[in-house]
Amino acid sequence: MSKSLKRVRAALEAAGLSADIRELGQTRTAQEAADAVGCALDQIAKSIIFRGERSGEAILFLTAGGNRVCDAKASALAGEPLGKADAELIRAQTGFAIGGVAPVGHLTPIRAFLDPRLLEFGTVWAAAGTPRHVFALDPHVLPALTGARLADFTL
């Protein structure tokens, strides 16, 4: 088991949550992940990371699989212009590779925002630290679990 996957499992267990992690094989899109687990596209909780142009920090936007992050809304929420986060920044701050960024288990704390669309479901699926693994959880635990602020940032 990879270090990233172990960190996610440990974070979930520390929060008192079941760590039902599934290996899907390589899925490159939210739709492929939804098809693999047998859920609706918007039940996939995508972790989209931007780089704060002033702070240089990674900022996490957890959004429903079918939604896209609006750059202007996201920048307004972050309080600074946002740019593309490269693989090096993502790995350094979260400890995860692109495609496997989990909402929990980051190496360092990260500012996070949560798409309200995710709360319309009883269960959502998120990356579990690798591009091949996901876990299910009740989305209503995400704000407390991640420190994410509920906000409108999608197109």
Q: What is the pLDDT of residues 120-145, one digit of tens each?
A: 999 999 999 999 999 999 999 999 99
Predicted TM-score (pTM) above 0.95: yes
Domains detected in the chain? 3-150 (3.90.960.10)
Cβ neighbours of residue 113 under 8 Å, at least 6 residues apart? 59, 60, 61, 62, 74, 77, 78, 148, 149, 150, 151, 153
Q: Positive or negative, the Cα torsion across 33, 121, 63, 58? A: negative
Q: What is the pLDDT of residues 35-76, one digit of tens each?
A: 999 999 999 999 999 999 999 999 999 999 999 999 999 999
